[in-house]
Structure 1
């Protein structure tokens, strides 16, 4: 694994990422330096208390046409006003979870939002990218495995 002091790695405008605390499969993500906060496509979002702590439960879309979602439960969910790409302010739950992108594994913040009208179920924003990655907007899947790239190429 790369460390925080490693030089920034190069990523494409889309990558396969892991969320090992939430799902056992890798999920397609759009890399977006225009977005401050990263976002997950989540539905059926509900807040609850467990052992005196705030938790949130939601269904996580796994993308790539998979007709399945994973039920996730995450502690210490906060709420924040996030301005969406269309300029609309939305009150969203914010979670922190491990993100794996290439050789990097680190905790990142994600807002939970309905991204059903978006092509990618995950958006990686500039806060998660900062000091870790440089983005080549003309390339894709630079930090994804050779097997993933081959599978993605065969899908069109």
Structure 2
């Protein structure tokens, strides 16, 4: 008797999900999954460029709701590019690379730094962040994966 091959199919995620940004000390943050946006965007204020070890870095603050002070971050700049804002107007933005935790999944993404204080979500996950991850976005559902799970030691080794 032949065994049937099981096909799990793509993992379904909602149009909103809780994510973690462990490089920045953020365990949970609501993110909008926006397949209309190519690049992810993170709410960052007080951006200051500086040089460190012959490389361009940026120092910025991630405002945290219900906290007097935001999270201060320093990160190497991986790129600088023109990205259209929500009004369709190109803006020159700094790009940084950071770890992302979505459910039990962990990988690195590029995010543009933008002032998103008038937006509902502090983080937009663009299509390049979720492309090739075997995920399908259900626009009718939200928070399907639950809180981000910290990586196991084996997963940390695998990421390196």
Per the normalisation by structure 2, the TM-score is 0.81
Provide the C-alpha distance between the structure 1 equivalents of 2:51 and 2:123, rounded to a whole number of angstroms: 26
Provide, for residues 15-46 of structure 1, a one-character-per-residue CA deviation record: whole Å limited to 9, x for no partner: 11000001242111111110000000000001
Asked if 1:84 corresponds to 2:85, the answer is: yes
Alignment partner of 1:42 out of 41, 44, 47: 44
Deviation (angstroms), 1:131: 1.9
Which structure 1 residue ranges, 5 or more long, are not aligned?
Answer: 1-5, 147-156
Alignment check: 8 A CA contact 2:19 2:147 kept: no
State the alpha-carbon separation in 1 of the partners of residues 10 and 114 from structure 2: 28
Distance in 2 (alpha carbons) for counterparts of 1:25 and 1:145: 9
Structure 1 38/134 Cα, relative in aligned 2: closer, same or farther at 3 Å? same
Matched with 1:13 is 15
- Does structure 2 conserve the Cα–Cα contact (< 8 Å) formed by 1:41 and 1:113? yes
Please name the residue that 2:60 is paired with: 58
Larger Rg: 2
Gap regions ≥5 residues in structure 2: 1-7, 149-160
Q: How does 1:92-131 map onto structure 2 within 5 Å?
A: 92-131=93-132
Residues 77 and 94, structure 2, Cα contact 8 Å, conserved in 1:
no
